[in-house]
């Protein structure tokens, strides 16, 4: 399995910008190198997903559509959370008890009481067909393409994230904000990237925000603007030489870096300290909950797609509950149970907050992972864990102006197989694109110049969109 490492070194390191050339320090090439080194020091190259619209335009978009993906890294156990089977044998049903919800006849886990009370504003999908999905990297569900699995396809990592496709398509996006942001990323392998679209549509990583808004010593906004102009000539000379899209990305990253660093919109959006104390207390002090609050601030400021890596470590993910004897995961009782109250609070607080601000119809909130867990407890020699189960999983949907207060699909008596209404990755993509206004016939070019459709055999989920 390939190892994915995200280097902290910037793209211009090979230019040796701090080395003197000959006896002259102020020659044009040295000035260009110094200018590029200063820009690279902002830690934005290869991170910002730049926008097609010119930064000179400041058109305000009314009712900006967006998506918040709460990515439960590792694969949450559907049978222990949203699709309990209380009549099954103990080795299948697990240790949790079901509770009633706001939907008559529908039960979910006892440790999700807030979701139970809010289920009339949400939708549970119990029949997501996640075959071929795996993690490290987590590609299939985040790209909605079954071929995006590196273990069976060496070109899998070239498939672009749904968020990257949206970033490219949103021509009216707010100029001073990155369209695709990832928060709390614990490993590069936890999220999908720009792929065939190029580095321009990689996510902006929210954990770099402190570096983003810190000017190097002696660097002012005016000098930053001058350096941008200084690098333009060299960029034009190299643009046609870079077939991978890296130079195009750097051009866009630089423009957006200047706009974000010298402006106020992004600074304000990333500063949750500007939220009233009562709002911050409502979300709570847990880091995951603070990320949910930040996600709300970002979509409110114009970000099109925010993914929260809901994990505590950089391995395969905190929700990968294989068993207490298989660290660092833990089993269902000691591993999964402590996660549920935190997740319950952050999801329901986010939904309620969006609704109170009049944003819920414009923001689609998804909570999901890579796959479900095995019907049987005690796999892999554990007494309390469940293994990967890419046959079926459950997820929740809220907002987006869709029809909610329902459960879509069902599984067999042991929650191991889909019994009705399978929902495919393509169906999820079509539903997300329907919300975001991305035409289903939209294509992009692969490395051979061949067009590929953004949706691989999917339809918008009629129960939600109809």
pLDDT average, residue stretch 37-58: 39
pLDDT at 265: 85
What is the helix, strand, coil percentage profile of the chain, to 5? 35, 15, 50
Contact (Cβ atoms closer than 8 angstroms) between residue 127 and residue 392: yes
Contact (Cβ atoms closer than 8 angstroms) between residue 68 and residue 263: no
Give residue-wise pLDDT tens across range 415-437: 999 999 999 999 999 999 999 99
Task: Identify the domain containing residue 79 by its residue range.
Answer: 38-53+64-465
pLDDT average, residue stretch 342-352: 98
- Is 400 a member of any domain? yes
Of residues 334 and 47, which shows the higher confidence score?
334
> How would residue 348 be classed by pLDDT, with cut points 50, 70 and 90?
very high
Which structure tokens are listed for 457?
């055999």
Supply the mean pLDDT for the chain. Answer: 83
Answer whether residue 355 shows pLDDT above 80: yes
Give the distance from CA 233 to its chain's centroid: 35
pLDDT average, residue stretch 223-245: 57
Which structure tokens are listed for 218?
């002696």
What single-letter DSSP state applies at residue 335? I
> How would residue 338 be classed by pLDDT, with cut points 50, 70 and 90?
very high
Contact (Cβ atoms closer than 8 angstroms) between residue 99 and residue 116: yes
Residue in 181, 177, 183 with CA at minimum distance from that of residue 266: 177
pLDDT at 248: 59
pLDDT at 35: 40
- Is 239 a member of any domain? yes
pLDDT at 63: 62
pLDDT average, residue stretch 30-43: 40
Residue that the structure tokens 């998506």 belong to = 67
pLDDT at 200: 86
Answer whether residue 254 shows pLDDT above 90: no
The residues near 62 (Cβ < 8 Å, ≥ 6 apart) are none
Give the distance from CA 74 to its chain's centroid: 14
Name which of 14-23, 147-156, 275-284 the model is least confident about: 14-23
Contact (Cβ atoms closer than 8 angstroms) between residue 192 and residue 161: yes
- Is 58 a member of any domain? no
- Is 11 a member of any domain? no
Task: Give the N- to C-terminal CA distance of the chain in Å, as an integer.
Answer: 42
Give the H/E segment covering residue 36. Answer: helix 28-40
Could you please report the per-residue DSSP string of 407-439?
EE-EE-TTSSSEEE--B-HHHHHHHHHHHHT--
Could you please report the per-residue DSSP string of 202-247?
SPEEGGGHHHHT-PPTT--HHHHHHHHHHHHHHHHHHHTT-SSSHH
Beta strands at 418-420 and 410-411: parallel, antiparallel or unpaired: antiparallel
The residues near 188 (Cβ < 8 Å, ≥ 6 apart) are 4, 5, 6, 137
Highest mean pLDDT (candidates 169-173, 236-240, 291-295): 291-295
Answer whether residue 225 shows pLDDT above 80: no
Answer whether residue 375 shows pLDDT above 70: yes
pLDDT at 456: 81
pLDDT average, residue stretch 49-53: 40
Contact (Cβ atoms closer than 8 angstroms) between residue 51 and residue 64: no
- Is 337 a member of any domain? yes
pLDDT average, residue stretch 123-152: 91
Beta strands at 305-309 and 180-183: parallel, antiparallel or unpaired: parallel
pLDDT at 282: 98
Give residue-wise pLDDT tens across range 4-18: 333 333 333 333 434
pLDDT average, residue stretch 218-226: 64
pLDDT average, residue stretch 251-279: 79
The residues near 327 (Cβ < 8 Å, ≥ 6 apart) are none
Highest mean pLDDT (candidates 21-35, 89-103, 162-176, 215-229): 89-103
Contact (Cβ atoms closer than 8 angstroms) between residue 316 and residue 326: no
Answer whether residue 102 shows pLDDT above 50: yes
Which structure tokens are listed for 412?
């067999």
Give the H/E segment covering residue 80. Answer: helix 78-81
- Is 110 a member of any domain? yes
Of residues 385 and 145, which shows the higher confidence score?
385
pLDDT average, residue stretch 39-45: 40
Residue that the structure tokens 């907002």 belong to = 399
- Is 59 a member of any domain? no
- Is 414 a member of any domain? yes
Answer whether residue 179 shows pLDDT above 60: yes
Of residues 266 and 141, which shows the higher confidence score?
141
The residues near 216 (Cβ < 8 Å, ≥ 6 apart) are 38, 41
Phi, psi of 423 (to 5 degrees): -120, 120
3-state secondary structure of 61: coil
User: In this structure, what CATH number is given to the domain that contains residue 387?
Assistant: 3.40.720
Tally Cβ neighbours within 10 Å of residue 139.
30
Number of domains in the chain: 1
> How would residue 57 be classed by pLDDT, with cut points 50, 70 and 90?
very low
pLDDT average, residue stretch 78-107: 97
| Sign of the Cα pseudo-torsion (277, 281, 284, 286, in order) | positive
Contact (Cβ atoms closer than 8 angstroms) between residue 52 and residue 283: no
């Amino acid at each position: 399995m390939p190892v994915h490492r995200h280097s902290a070194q910037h793209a211009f390191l090979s230019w040796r910008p701090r080395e003197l050339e000959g006896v002259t320090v102020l020659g044009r090439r040295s000035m260009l190198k110094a200018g590029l080194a200063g820009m690279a020091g902002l830690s934005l190259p290869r991170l910002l997903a730049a926008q097609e619209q010119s930064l000179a335009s400041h058109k305000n978009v009314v009712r900006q559509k967006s998506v918040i993906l709460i990515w439960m890294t590792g694969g949450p156990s559907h049978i222990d959370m949203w699709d309990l089977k209380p009549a099954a044998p103990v080795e299948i049903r697990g240790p949790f008890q079901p509770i009633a919800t706001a939907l008559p006849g529908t039960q979910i886990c006892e440790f999700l009481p807030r979701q139970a009370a809010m289920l009339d504003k949400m939708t549970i999908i119990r029949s997501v067909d996640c075959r071929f999905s795996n993690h490290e990297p987590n590609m299939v569900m985040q790209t909605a393409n079954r071929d995006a699995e590196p273990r069976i396809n060496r070109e899998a990592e070239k498939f672009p994230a749904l968020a990257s496709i949206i970033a490219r398509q949103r021509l009216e996006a707010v100029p001073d904000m990155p369209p695709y942001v990832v928060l709390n990323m614990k490993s590069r392998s936890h999220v999908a990237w720009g792929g065939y679209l190029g580095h321009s549509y990689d996510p902006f990583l929210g954990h770099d925000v402190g570096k983003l808004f810190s000017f190097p010593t002696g660097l002012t906004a005016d000098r930053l603007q001058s350096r941008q102009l200084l690098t333009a000539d060299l960029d034009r000379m190299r643009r046609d030489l870079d077939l991978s899209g890296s130079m195009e990305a750097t051009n866009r990253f630089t423009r957006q870096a200047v706009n974000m660093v010298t402006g106020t919109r992004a600074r304000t959006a990333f500063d949750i300290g500007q939220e009233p104390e009562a709002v911050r207390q409502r979300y709570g002090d847990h880091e995951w909950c603070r990320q949910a609050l930040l996600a709300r601030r970002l979509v409110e400021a114009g970000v099109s797609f925010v993914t929260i890596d809901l994990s505590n470590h950089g391995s395969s993910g905190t929700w990968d509950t294989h068993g207490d004897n298989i660290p660092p995961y833990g089993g269902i009782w000691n591993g999964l149970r402590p996660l549920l109250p935190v997740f319950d609070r952050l999801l329901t607080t986010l939904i309620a907050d969006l609704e109170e601000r009049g944003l819920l119809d414009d923001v689609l909130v998804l909570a999901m992972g890579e796959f479900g867990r095995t019907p049987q407890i005690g796999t892999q020699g554990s007494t309390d864990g469940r293994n990967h189960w890419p046959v079926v999983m459950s997820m929740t949907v809220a907002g987006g102006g869709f029809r909610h207060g329902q459960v879509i699909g069902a599984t067999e008596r042991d929650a191991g197989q889909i019994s009705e209404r399978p929902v495919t990755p393509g169906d999820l993509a079509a539903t997300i694109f329907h919300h975001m206004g991305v035409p289903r016939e939209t294509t992009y070019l692969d490395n051979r110049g061949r067009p590929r459709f953004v949706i691989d055999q999917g339809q918008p989920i009629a129960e939600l969109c109809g």
